């Protein structure tokens, strides 16, 4: 079965998390009040500039409305579909794809969730928040840089959606080959430095929240499916391949394959032969 393509870097590494955190640091009403206050101040100080300032947001609104109408009418390319894989695909470790199609299993996988939140009115401007974010980001960069050594397959990043009044909760979802890889990263220099800083200052900065969860999912106990979706979550991972001297080092492969084969059309089929035992237990 052919792979649907590959990606060397995880989704979390490609995304601009900091910009999202800054935007989501305050509520929409706060941002609107700040903008209105700025416009009012400039209008009061420079009355002649008031009309000119009003032109800019109106022009942006007109351009965006026109852009949406052109896309809806088919006269302009729908960039929201960029990267979308049409149809149904599933993410299966490359070394288990042929085995699964012939009745085997879908391989082991480790899911590691790590999240952080600043429970403070100033959000990321709160005391200690800058250092907190810097250490957090440094660990994420080092994990990405040495992903093959740690067996890290990829990651996706998410921001909380109105779960609490402070809207700056970030969650990183990592996928590893083994629990040993997670433990190896936990003993790495970058993680040690970040953890030492947090344990030193956590009593003083009690508004800095940190948490993680780890799930070791054996073969036959997990499955996934993506319909008309861009690669995300486990679908955005990249698996290192054993390469010969001819191929060279650093070969990576996406786990996404078309789910149109009979063995992959159902949940139980994508879980593999071990799913029969799981079904019986249910």
Instruction: List, for residues 142-175, the tens digit of each pLDDT value.
Output: 888 888 889 899 998 887 766 666 657 888 999 9
Q: The domain containing residue 220 runs over which residues? A: 11-23+84-281
Closest CA to 210 of 142, 129, 147, 153: 129
Identify whether residues 48 and 186 lie together within a single domain.
no
Residues 110 and 51 placed together within one structural domain of the fold: no
Is 79 among the domain residues? no
Which helix H or strand E contains 29, and what residues bound it?
helix 28-45
Say whether 87 sits in a helix, a strand or coil: strand
Identify the H or E element spanning 184.
helix 179-186
Statement to judge: residues 19 and 93 lie in one domain? yes
Q: Are residues 38 and 117 in the same domain?
A: no
CATH number of 105's domain: 3.30.70.100
For residues 115 and 210, membership in a common domain is answered with yes
> Residues 125, 47: one domain?
no
263 and 233 housed in the same domain: yes
Return the H-helix or E-strand segment holding 183: helix 179-186
Kindly state whether residue 208 falls inside one of the protein's structural domains.
yes
Q: Is residue 78 part of a domain?
A: no
Integer Cα distance of 101 and 192 in angstroms: 42
Task: Name the pTM for this structure.
Answer: 0.80
Contact 254, 6 (CB under 8 A): yes
CA neighbours closer than 13 Å in the CB half-sphere of residue 227: 1
CA 98 and chain centroid, separation: 28
User: Within this chain, do residues 148 and 67 fall inside the same structural domain, yes or no?
Assistant: no
Per the domain annotation, does 127 fall within a domain?
Answer: yes
How high is the pLDDT of residue 19? 64
Half-sphere exposure of 143 (CA within 13 A, CB side): 31
Q: How many domains does the chain have?
A: 2
Strands (DSSP E) contained in the chain are 85-91, 109-118, 152-159, 170-176, 208-217, 226-229, 239-240, 252-253, 256-258
Residues of the chain with pLDDT under 70: 1-21, 98-106, 161-167, 242-250, 273-282
Q: Is the residue at 3 inside a domain? A: no
Q: How far is CA 33 from CA 27, 37, 111, 227, in A?
A: 10, 6, 41, 40
Residues 217 and 100 in one domain: yes
Same domain, 94 and 42: no
Q: Are residues 163 and 51 in the same domain?
A: no
Say if 220 falls within a structural domain: yes
Question: For 238-262, what is each residue's pLDDT tens digit?
Answer: 887 765 445 445 678 888 989 888 7
| 214 and 150 in a common domain | yes
């Amino acid at each position: 079965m052919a792979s649907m393509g590959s990606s060397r870097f995880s989704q979390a590494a490609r995304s601009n998390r900091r910009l999202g955190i800054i935007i989501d640091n305050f509520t929409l009403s706060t941002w609107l009040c700040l903008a209105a206050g700025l416009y009012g101040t400039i209008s009061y100080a420079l009355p002649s500039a008031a009309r000119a300032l009003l032109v800019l947001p109106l022009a942006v609104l007109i351009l965006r409305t026109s852009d949406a109408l052109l896309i809806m009418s088919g006269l302009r390319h729908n960039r929201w579909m960029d990267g979308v894989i049409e149809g149904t695909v599933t993410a299966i470790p490359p070394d288990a794809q042929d085995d699964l199609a012939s009745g085997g299993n879908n391989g082991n996988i480790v899911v590691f969730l790590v999240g952080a939140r600043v429970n403070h009115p100033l959000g990321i401007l709160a005391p200690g928040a800058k250092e907190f974010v810097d250490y957090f980001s440094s660990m994420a960069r080092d994990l990405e840089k040495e992903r093959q050594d740690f067996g890290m397959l990829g990651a996706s990043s998410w921001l909380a959606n109105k779960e609490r009044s402070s809207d700056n909760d970030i969650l990183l979802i990592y996928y590893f080959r083994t629990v040993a890889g997670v433990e190896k990263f936990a003993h790495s220099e970058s993680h040690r430095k970040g953890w030492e800083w947090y344990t030193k200052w956590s009593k003083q900065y009690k508004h800095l929240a940190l948490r993680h969860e780890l799930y070791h999912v054996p073969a036959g106990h997990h499955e996934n499916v993506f319909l008309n979706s861009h690669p995300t979550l486990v679908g955005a991972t990249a698996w290192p391949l054993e390469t010969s001297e001819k191929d060279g080092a650093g070969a990576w492969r996406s786990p996404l394959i078309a789910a149109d084969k009979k063995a992959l059309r159902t949940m139980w089929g994508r879980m593999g032969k071990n799913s029969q035992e799981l079904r019986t237990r249910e």
